[in-house]
Amino acid sequence: MDAPGREWWREAVCYQIYPRSFQDSNGDGIGDLEGIIRRLDYLNDGTPHSLGIDAVWLSPTYPSPMADFGYDVADYCDVHPDFGTLATMDRLIAECHRRGIRVLLDWVPNHTSDQHPWFIESRSSRESPKRDWYIWRDPRPDGSPPNNWRSVFGGPAWTFDERTGQYYLHSFLKEQPDLNWRNPEVEAAMLQTLRFWFERGVDGFRIDVIGRILKHPDLPDNPPNPEWRPGDRERFSQLWLYNHNYPDVFNAVKRIRKVFDEYPGRVAVGEVFGTPEEIARFYGDADSPGLHLAFNFHFIHERGHAITPWEAPVLRRIIANAEATVPPFSQPCFALNNHDRSRFVTRQNHDGRGLERARAAPLLLLGLRNTPFLYYGEEIGMADVDIPPERQQDPARFRSVGRDPERTPMQWDASPGRGFTTGEPWLPFGPPSPNVAEQDGDPDSLLSLYRRAIWLRKELPALRAGSVANLGGDEAVVSWRRQTPGAPGVAVAVNTATVPARAQLPFPRGRIVLCTVRAREGERTGGEVELPPLGAAWIAEEA
Ligand code: NOJ
């Protein structure tokens, strides 16, 4: 077991796999566990020719009717046949561990599928012993839902069940009824599902929408959001006062953490939303810890910004806020991409220069004091793919923004099946480029840049574990110093302007060890460095 403060996840680079889209092994057009096993050497074969990933997080692989592509779980302790079997999962865990890759699964505690046996039982009658496992309420006198809460995907958060004459609560789709975490039996049953996987060797979980598991016990109406304007996303029309990050959640998180602590070396990474202070609260306190890590998505979106602009003052503020709030016994956890949001290249492409920004992105993400999460395809610069209406899959599209464009299959090569499948892919491919094969041997490719960044991070203690201090420089530059005792300092500098800019360095002599323009690598510097337009560099202190 790692000593406190030296746990593996502190220095790990993690990689999110959306299993449907990573690698198909049986020609059904849907990615599967066997496919992931075949691609593990790409993630880490122990040499800098591979990405050097330390942990993978698999989006849900459980049996599910796939109303929300696995985030509607029908059995927490098995594998969906589209993905394989429990035996394949055991093999995947073993094959990952053989390569030093940890495995995180996705735990969905807020809701089950409406096809989960618990819900089928619960909805069968008002007297069902599992009735109280979900949140059932009578209609208001006029027949309308018990309160005004809206589903995250739009529409009311309540669905009326004719048979028993009550509404049930669903924070997401009506096929995803919310569990009642105020019932201790529910909590105990859900915690057992964690143990099931820990016993099989799983190293941790990404926890889905953990901030929603407990609501105000009286389920009062949420107040309207005074800043909401027609045309904004419906879910923001209310302030989520009573059904999101409700104070009781933070105590439940501490009880969940205790189960992780029963098994040495396991990690809980929460999908959380909120202000920097709210995110920090999920970590708990030193003597009663909560999550090991809580995602900070502010580089992707922030309240007030549907898309966080790639602008130095904004990035600086996000970094400073995270540094100021995350408790000292842990560290931030950033991501630039995931399966719910438009991909970085597309998001930051308002002027057609998204790909250039995507080269600076890994220097920012991997240069910060944090446990970074990459999203499959980010390392080759995959962009959103336009999906024709007849091929769209994500049910969220009916009332919110569809997420298919960022979930298209991994592009392994330029062949008709992109190296992903021999069949018809479940979502259409993007154009043949970018793909792994074309970037693999090209030292100037984005993939090569990601590989160098990840392996350098392993080599440089300041980058893995050093403190962070802001540096001066041009207004358009975000830069900071990483420092750890007994090792050379490293400066990270990111130029967000489309013209060159200067960054001051915290040491009189340095060497560029990584740069978005590869020709600059190896260059010696004095006390400052000029950065290319939209470029970034890591500069190591020289004796
Ligand atoms: C967050 C997940 O990331 C998203 O994909 C899912 O639809 C919702 N939670 C509901 O589980």
Neighbours of 417 (CB within 10 A): 17
Q: What is the pLDDT of residues 40-66, one digit of tens each?
A: 999 999 999 999 999 999 999 999 999
The finding on whether 209 has its CB within 6 A of some atom of ligand 1 is: yes
Q: Specify the higher pLDDT residue, 154 or 360.
A: 360
The answer on pLDDT for 3 being more than 80 is: no
Length of the chain: 543
Q: What is the pLDDT of residues 61-86, one digit of tens each?
A: 999 999 999 999 999 999 999 999 99
Distance of alpha carbon 223 from alpha carbon 216, whole angstroms? 13
The finding on whether 83 has its CB within 6 A of some atom of ligand 1 is: no
The answer on pLDDT for 492 being more than 70 is: yes
Ligand 1 centroid from CA 450, angstroms: 27
Instruction: Determine the pLDDT at residue 305.
Output: 75
The answer on pLDDT for 299 being more than 90 is: yes
Instruction: Determine the pLDDT at residue 396.
Output: 87
Instruction: Determine the pLDDT at residue 98.
Output: 98
Instruction: Determine the pLDDT at residue 230.
Output: 86
Q: What is the pLDDT of residues 89-130, one digit of tens each?
A: 999 999 999 999 999 999 999 999 999 999 999 999 999 999
Q: Which residue has the CA at smallest separation from atom 11 of ligand 1? A: 71
H or E segment to which residue 321 belongs? helix 312-325
CA distance from start to end of the chain: 36
Distance of alpha carbon 37 from alpha carbon 41, whole angstroms? 8
Query: Strand 293-294 and strand 373-375: pairing?
Result: unpaired
Region 225-229: mean pLDDT is 90
Q: What is the pLDDT of residues 174-216, one digit of tens each?
A: 999 999 999 999 999 999 999 999 999 999 999 999 999 999 9
Distance of alpha carbon 528 from alpha carbon 531, whole angstroms? 10
Q: What is the pLDDT of residues 134-159, one digit of tens each?
A: 999 999 999 999 999 999 998 999 99
Distance of alpha carbon 108 from alpha carbon 209, whole angstroms? 8
Q: What is the pLDDT of residues 241-267, one digit of tens each?
A: 999 999 999 999 999 999 999 999 999
> Which of 169, 172, 212, 301 most suits a substitution to test ligand 1, by most atoms within 8 Å of the C-beta?
172
Catalytically active residues are: 208, 262
Per residue in 114-143, is it b (16+ CB within 10 Å) or e — as a string? bbbebbeebbeeeebebbebbbbeeeeeee
> Which of 68, 169, 301 most suits a substitution to test ligand 1, by most atoms within 8 Å of the C-beta?
68
Confidence band of 304 (pLDDT split at 50, 70, 90): low
CA dihedral over 484, 485, 486, 489, signed as positive or negative = positive
The finding on whether 340 has its CB within 6 A of some atom of ligand 1 is: yes
The finding on whether 282 has its CB within 6 A of some atom of ligand 1 is: no
Ligand 1 centroid from CA 111, angstroms: 10
Confidence band of 5 (pLDDT split at 50, 70, 90): confident
pTM of the predicted protein model: 0.98
The finding on whether 68 has its CB within 6 A of some atom of ligand 1 is: yes
Instruction: Determine the pLDDT at residue 312.
Output: 97
Give the burial class of 402: count Cβ atoms within 10 A of its Cβ; 0-12 exposed, 13-18 middle, 19 or more buried.
Answer: middle
The finding on whether 208 has its CB within 6 A of some atom of ligand 1 is: yes
The answer on pLDDT for 426 being more than 80 is: yes
What average pLDDT is seen over the chain? Answer: 97
DSSP string, 402-424: --GGGSPPP--SSSTTTTT-SS-
Q: What is the pLDDT of residues 308-320, one digit of tens each?
A: 999 999 999 999 9
- Cis previous bond, 434, omega within 30: yes
The answer on pLDDT for 235 being more than 90 is: no
* Residue 510 exposure: Cα atoms within 13 Å on the Cβ side: 29
Distance of alpha carbon 173 from alpha carbon 72, whole angstroms? 9
Ligand 1 centroid from CA 416, angstroms: 30
Tell me the residue type at 68: D
Confidence band of 453 (pLDDT split at 50, 70, 90): very high
Q: Which residue has the CA at smallest separation from atom 5 of ligand 1? A: 340
pLDDT above 70: percentage of residues in the chain: 100
- Look up residue 256 and give its two tokens: 């969940």
Residue of 384, 340, 386, 395 lying closest to 66 (CA atoms)? 395
Instruction: Determine the pLDDT at residue 1.
Output: 62
Q: Tokens 């865990």 correspond to what residue?
A: 93
User: What is the chain's Cα-based Rg?
Assistant: 23
Specify whether the CB–CB gap between 340 and 389 falls below 8 A: no
Distance of alpha carbon 518 from alpha carbon 366, whole angstroms? 17
Distance of alpha carbon 95 from alpha carbon 47, whole angstroms? 16
